[in-house]
């Protein structure tokens, strides 16, 4: 397996495989200077992709925004390789992802790699609001985090206000078009 940065290919995979809105992936890649997209290749075939970005709150954070793997390549370590690749790229940062509690594959993937699980509802309001802005995780109910506690990262909003406005709120309101 090898992994390469490829924005267009990653968006194609995300658009085809992700069951949910992908306008946020496009928005962050086009509007946030520290956003990237990686594709994992197995035997020359694009097997999976990840869209990720860096944002500074009280700490530097790196968000695993979209992770998708072609069904025929699942359970073969493709997503694990993508998540590890992003961690290596963002070394020194705190890593975060959001998902829904019923997404056993995503929860299993991240917890096996050392991420802790928090329910949004269990976090103090200010921390929750800041981290929701940093992750645009409004459709999800849990936060997965590695490298610090939610409070350590989310006690300051930092750049996440600007990120949220440009790549989360505007696409949500339809103000920004592709």
Which residues of this chain interact with ligand COA, rule CB under 6 A?
Answer: 17-18, 48, 67-69, 74-80, 97, 99, 103-106, 108-109, 112
Between CA 172 and CA 105 the distance in angstroms is 26
Task: Using the structure block, give the residue that is written with the tokens 């200010």.
Answer: 126
Whose Cβ is closer to ligand COA: residue 2's or residue 112's? Answer: 112
Whose Cβ is closer to ligand COA: residue 104's or residue 117's? Answer: 104
Least separation, in Å, of the C-beta of 107 and ligand COA? 7
Least separation, in Å, of the C-beta of 129 and ligand COA? 21
Tell me if residue 76 falls in helix, strand or coil: coil
Angle, helices 23-31 vs 7-17, to 10°: value is: 160
Tell me the residue nearest to ligand COA as measured from the CB. Answer: 108
Least separation, in Å, of the C-beta of 34 and ligand COA? 19
Least separation, in Å, of the C-beta of 175 and ligand COA? 25
Three-class SS string for 114-169? CCEEEEHHHCCHHHHHHHHHHHCCCCCCEEEEECCCHHHHHCCCCCHHHHHHHHHH
Residues 6+ apart with CB under 8 A from 115: 95, 97, 144, 145, 146
Whose Cβ is closer to ligand COA: residue 57's or residue 79's? Answer: 79
Give the HSE-up count for residue 24: Cα atoms under 13 Å, Cβ half-sphere.
24
Least separation, in Å, of the C-beta of 66 and ligand COA? 7
Whose Cβ is closer to ligand COA: residue 99's or residue 157's? Answer: 99
Between CA 129 and CA 127 the distance in angstroms is 6
Whose Cβ is closer to ligand COA: residue 111's or residue 165's? Answer: 111
């Amino acid at each position: 397996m090898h992994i390469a940065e490829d924005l267009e290919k990653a968006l194609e995979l995300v658009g085809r495989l992700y069951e949910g809105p992908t306008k946020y992936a496009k928005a962050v890649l086009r509007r946030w200077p520290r956003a990237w997209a990686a594709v994992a290749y197995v035997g020359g075939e694009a097997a999976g992709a990840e869209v990720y970005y860096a944002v500074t709150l009280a700490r530097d954070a790196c968000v695993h925004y979209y992770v998708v793997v072609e069904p025929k390549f699942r359970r073969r370590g493709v997503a694990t390789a993508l998540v590890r690749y992003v961690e290596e790229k963002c070394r020194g940062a705190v890593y975060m992802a959001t998902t829904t509690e019923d997404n056993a594959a995503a929860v299993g993937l991240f917890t096996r790699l050392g991420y802790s699980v928090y329910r949004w509802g269990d976090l103090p309001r200010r921390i929750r609001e800041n981290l929701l802005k940093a992750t645009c995780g409004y459709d999800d109910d849990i936060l997965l985090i590695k490298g610090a506690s939610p409070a350590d990262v989310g006690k300051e909003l930092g750049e996440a206000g600007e990120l949220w406005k440009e790549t989360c709120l505007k696409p949500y309101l339809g103000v920004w078009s592709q």
